[in-house]
Amino acid sequence: MKNPIQLTINIVLALAVAGLYFLHFNQKPVAPAIATDKSTAVLASPELNTADTTAAAPAEAASTVAAAETPAPAASNDGKIVYVESGKMLDGYQGMKDARRAFEAKARGWENQNQKLIANFRSAVEAYQKQAPTLTAEQRAATEQKLQAQQQESGQAQQRIQAQAQEEEAKLTQTVLESVNKKVQAYGKSHGYKLILIAAPSGTIAYGQKDLDITEPVLAYLNAEYRKK
């Protein structure tokens, strides 16, 4: 028969490990660019994360909204290749900020569910510890078997929560990416650019002249279009 205290340590530690998956929400991987047609390459962005963001757009971005909403003559940029900084653009895009906040709210609910599972199991183990000295060997065996079944059920519930979180994150991310891709493609066509490249930490672009960086006007355009919703 297992020592009740040792059983407690083993089971509670096993449950606590499941809570580590919430660290996943703080990761920020970067995906490569996606070519949507023969003339314009647009963005595949980082996944959603729960890093704290503010809704205020940079002052300099706000000053370019009018210019972004009024397309320049296509001939002035005909065949020109430019780039945008993916991290800067997505961090400043209000649509991404709103999606992150929505995901954070759901993540808090999932975390609460996870904590309840751990608390309920811990209470059951503590109750068993108090009763163990007065129980017969058969009663202890039966109670430990119930605790092991509860542990298994809790683990399965945590796996379902994690799967739900990952599915919801992917869904929100894809929705934002599709919107950004369409808007950047429309911006590129209206301004006559031949190609819009993505500068990302992964090293997609090693070097680019600053006059080819159109991140600010594109960001202003994205936010202006988003506010029209």
* pLDDT value, residue 20: 34
Which residues make beta-bridge pairs with 13? none
Q: From the first residue on, what is the mean pLDDT of each consecutive set of 10 residues in the chain (229 residues)?
A: 43 39 38 38 43 40 42 58 92 94 92 93 94 92 94 93 92 92 94 91 80 94 91
The model carries a pTM of: 0.61
Say how far apart CA 165 and CA 148 lie, in whole Å: 26
Say how far apart CA 79 and CA 194 lie, in whole Å: 4
In sequence order, the 6+-apart residues with CB closer than 8 A to the CB of 57 are: 92, 94, 219, 220, 223
